[in-house]
Amino acid sequence: MSQLPLSDLAHMEHPAIGVVTLSRLLGELGHDPDPWLQAEGLPPSKSLLATATVEGARELGFVLRVLASVAIPHLGLIVGQRHHFSVFGMWGLALVSSSTLRDAIRVGLRYIDLVHTFLDWRFIDEPERPRLVADEPYDLGAARRFVVERDLAGCNSLLIDLLGHREALERVSLPFAAPEDATPYQAVFGCEVQFDADRAALEIAPSALESKPVQANSMAARLAEEQCRRLVSQMTTNGGVTAALRRQLLATPGRLPSLPEVAEHLHVSERGLRRKLAAERSSYRVVLAQVRETLARAYLRDTGLHLDEIAERLGYSDAANFSHAFRRWTGTAPGRFREETRTLSGRARGR
């Protein structure tokens, strides 16, 4: 399967659960996450809520900075073990309230957009070998192992929360080479662990699929699923004029539309669009700057485009004006940012 470049993550927004959980762990281990958050344009750890949303590109940038700066063995496994159902709000409640494990899987995948995975999850319900499979739509580079380990360990934590035991999992498959010491994987998953697999997967005991979760509650399940449905609907229908404007700007990154063009697309007058944005304490200029910064970071980190090419794509007259704007956003020059992020990626890959 061909993979999408990381620059496509500039278009993705998902819950800040992953950033919040990792930040809290780092703080407990004596590492201040705020400089790494700030470098990616994210709020400081004390003010970042799990219910907020973050751009996928910024989250991956934060992860890469962490991996390049601290040597914590099996960090993905450690973080994943903290992904209990309570972390996921209404989505987690919908899972643990389900009548069977099979229903919980169905609900979880139906509303997967409410969590922060970078993987494409699906359930293969074969009688002899039911399994959750995770494909990798993006080339995650040096963050790949962390993301896969985090997500699979997180799924394992949810299975334990649901059923109250570790016997549902029969085998875990990981799409990378085995480390010298595989003991931590056995300790986390408590079952056979296969390395060098074609894709990441969790094989579930067929008999476990009809097991009743320890907190099963049909009324709570219905209410939680209805709330999940509403939350997903809000995410897809826009979440406000500011979000609609941002999506429209990101939809054509090679030629950012003007305010009149956006107003025409949204079927409102220019004056009406300005008024609606002001009501949300925003403006076309503010959103345009945010989108430009997001795309600039993605282009510098994930492509080999020259500065003048990036400037043209972002609507600047020349590279000098783009460089000035980038310094204002980040406090550093574009060339230095590109060199720094590539160095960080290399360090993270070497750990």
- CB within 8 A of 331, min separation 6: which ones? none
Residue-wise pLDDT tens digits, 121-179? 999 998 899 999 999 888 888 999 999 999 999 999 999 999 999 999 999 999 999 99
b/e map 10-35, b = 16+ CB within 10 Å: bbbbbbbbbbbbbbbbbeeeebebbe
Q: What is the mean pLDDT of residues 292-319?
A: 87
Contacts 24+ apart (CB under 8 A), 118-125: 118/9, 118/56, 118/60, 118/147, 118/151, 119/147, 119/148, 119/151, 119/200, 125/209
> What are the residue ranges of helices labelled H in 168-318?
183-189, 218-237, 241-251, 259-265, 270-279, 284-302, 307-313
Average pLDDT, the chain: 88
Copy the structure tokens of residue 20.
Answer: 């919040």
Q: What is the DSSP letter of 163?
A: H
pLDDT at 79: 97
Residue-wise pLDDT tens digits, 16-60? 999 999 999 999 999 999 999 999 989 999 998 887 888 888 899
- Sole residue written with tokens 């201040």: 32
pLDDT at 238: 46
Considering only residues 313 and 208, tell me which one the structure prediction assigns the higher pLDDT.
208
CA dihedral 15, 21, 26, 29 (to 10 degrees): 180
pLDDT at residue 67 greater than cutoff 80: yes
Copy the structure tokens of residue 40.
Answer: 């990616």
How far apart CA 301 and CA 266 sit, in angstroms, is: 32
Given a contact cutoff of 8 angstroms between Cβ atoms, the answer to whether 98 and 221 are in contact is: yes
- Sole residue written with tokens 């494990």: 101
Given a contact cutoff of 8 angstroms between Cβ atoms, the answer to whether 108 and 232 are in contact is: no
Residue positions counted in the chain = 351
pLDDT at residue 185 greater than cutoff 50: yes
How far apart CA 242 and CA 8 sit, in angstroms, is: 20
How far apart CA 48 and CA 319 sit, in angstroms, is: 33
Considering only residues 264 and 97, tell me which one the structure prediction assigns the higher pLDDT.
97
pLDDT at residue 236 greater than cutoff 60: no
pLDDT at 1: 46
**Degrees, nearest 5: CA angle 29-186-61:** 45
pLDDT bin (cut points 50, 70, 90) of residue 278 is confident
pLDDT at residue 309 greater than cutoff 70: yes
Cα–Cα distance list, 247 to 65, 163, 227, 326 (Å): 27, 40, 24, 21
pLDDT at 5: 58
**Degrees, nearest 5: CA angle 344-151-157:** 135
% of the chain at pLDDT higher than 90: 54
Residue-wise pLDDT tens digits, 92-117? 999 999 999 999 999 999 988 889 89
Q: Are strands 192-194 and 200-204 parallel, antiparallel or unpaired?
A: unpaired
**Degrees, nearest 5: CA angle 160-162-167:** 45
Which amino acid makes up residue 90?
M
Considering only residues 224 and 244, tell me which one the structure prediction assigns the higher pLDDT.
224
Considering only residues 279 and 293, tell me which one the structure prediction assigns the higher pLDDT.
293
% of the chain at pLDDT higher than 70: 92
Considering only residues 23 and 294, tell me which one the structure prediction assigns the higher pLDDT.
23
Given a contact cutoff of 8 angstroms between Cβ atoms, the answer to whether 229 and 111 are in contact is: yes
List the single range of 212-221, 258-267, 308-317 with lowest mean pLDDT. Answer: 258-267
How far apart CA 138 and CA 119 sit, in angstroms, is: 8
Domains and CATH numbers, the chain: 6-233 (3.90.1520.10), 238-350 (1.10.10.60)
How far apart CA 132 and CA 66 sit, in angstroms, is: 28
Considering only residues 303 and 9, tell me which one the structure prediction assigns the higher pLDDT.
303
